[in-house]
Amino acid sequence: MSLDNLLSNWSQYRKGHEEGGFHDYEHRWGMAIDLDICTGCNACSTACYAENNLAVVGPERFEKGQAMHWLRVERYWDQSELDHPEQGASFLPMMCQQCNAATCEPVCPVAATYHTPDGLNAQIYNRCIGSRYCSNNCPFRVRYFNFYSYYESSWPEPLNMQLNPDITVRDKGVMEKCTYCVQRIRSAKNKAKMEDRKLEDGEFTTACAQACPTNAIVFGDWQDENSQVAKLWKKHEVTRAVTKQNKDNPEKRGYRIFEELNIDPSVMYLERVREKV
């Protein structure tokens, strides 16, 4: 393939959803996360552990950079000029952003990570060779490598009975990441197909959204104009062109992480609303 063709294909690959995108989607699953009502309780992270058979690696391995969590809640104080910020810490749930032009996909030497017709950055575990190129290329740092066979010690009898039978337990040497609870997506799609109907908004959701006590996480198909997540995206006008403009408009709270990287994430955050002290 010539250099011109490579550059042309790459520019097509980087098209955003507002430009028609590069992929033809059956669905485009996405999230809207309202940081104004997120309390940082970590219920979403706990639910993710339980739903997706994630092992707890322990503090020693965590300190060595061998973390294993598909969803983390980041905590920060953005009022650094105050000794004791009256409005407390800010919280931001961070999971795989399921990018439309994901930087993790083209670098995988064995195509273990690929784009699905549902707009997901999927992972084929039995194809992965553990090169970790995808992790190095992910700006969000939300891909995790299995350094050990965690299952050998994480769920001793009878705790192994709590594992979710709908999803595999991964072994050492492979990359892992958030899948938007793809097992739930597949189950709901199969049910709708057997009943000869379309998927309905709210028919199912991810474990993190289901567990959130304040309903800060909204999940759905934003290709469906009637879905709640699509309405939120439209209300807050989240596109590459207007995200920066939203900062000057208090009614447009939506933004996406690392928007300037041109990777078209599927997660919109609603900025926290602060009262003047």
**67-84 pLDDT, tens per residue?**
888 999 998 876 666 555
Q: Does residue 113 belong to any structural domain of this protein?
A: yes
**174-217 pLDDT, tens per residue?**
999 999 999 999 999 999 999 999 888 889 999 999 999 999 99
Pairing label, strands 90-94, 113-115: unpaired
Dist. CA 270–CA 232, nearest whole Å: 9
Q: Does residue 236 belong to any structural domain of this protein?
A: yes
Dist. CA 96–CA 86, nearest whole Å: 31
For the chain, the three-class secondary structure string (H helix, E strand, C coil) is: CCHHHHHHHHHHHCCCHHHCCCCCCCCCEEEEEECCCCCCCCHHHHHHHHHCCCCCCCHHHHHCCCCCCCCEEEEECCCCCCCCCCCCCEEEEECCCCCCCCCCCCCCCCCCEEECCCCCEEECCCCCCCCCHHHHHCCCCCEEECCCCCHHHHCCCCHHHHCCCCCCCCCCCCEEECCCCHHHHHHHHHHHHHCCCCCCCCCCCCHHHHHCCCCCEEEEECCCCCCHHHHHHHHHCCCCCCHHHHCCCCCCCEECCCHHHCCCCCEEEECCCCCCC
**12-47 pLDDT, tens per residue?**
555 555 555 556 678 889 999 999 899 999 999 999
Integer CA distances (angstroms), 126 to 102, 112, 171, in order:
21, 8, 10
How confident is the model at residue 249, as a pLDDT? Answer: 61
What confidence category does residue 51 fall into, taking pLDDT thresholds of 50, 70 and 90? very high
Dist. CA 236–CA 246, nearest whole Å: 8
| Assigned token pair, 39 | 């309390």
Contact 257, 62 (CB under 8 A): no
> What is the average pLDDT across 103-108?
91
Q: Does residue 2 belong to any structural domain of this protein?
A: no
Show the domain range for 128.
18-270
| pTM exceeding the 0.95 threshold for the entire prediction | no
> What is the average pLDDT across 247-268?
81
Judge whether residue 7 has pLDDT over 50.
no
Dist. CA 111–CA 132, nearest whole Å: 12
Q: Does residue 1 belong to any structural domain of this protein?
A: no
Place of tokens 């996480």: 217
Q: Does residue 11 belong to any structural domain of this protein?
A: no
Integer CA distances (angstroms), 55 to 62, 140, 167, in order:
12, 21, 13
Q: Does residue 189 belong to any structural domain of this protein?
A: yes
Phi, psi for 158 (deg, rounded to 5) = -95, 20
Contact 218, 232 (CB under 8 A): yes
Contact 109, 65 (CB under 8 A): no
Q: Does residue 9 belong to any structural domain of this protein?
A: no
Task: Give the chain's mean pLDDT.
Answer: 83
Judge whether residue 235 has pLDDT over 70.
yes
Q: Does residue 8 belong to any structural domain of this protein?
A: no
CATH number at residue 145: 3.30.70.20
Judge whether residue 277 has pLDDT over 50.
no
| Structural domains in the chain (count) | 1
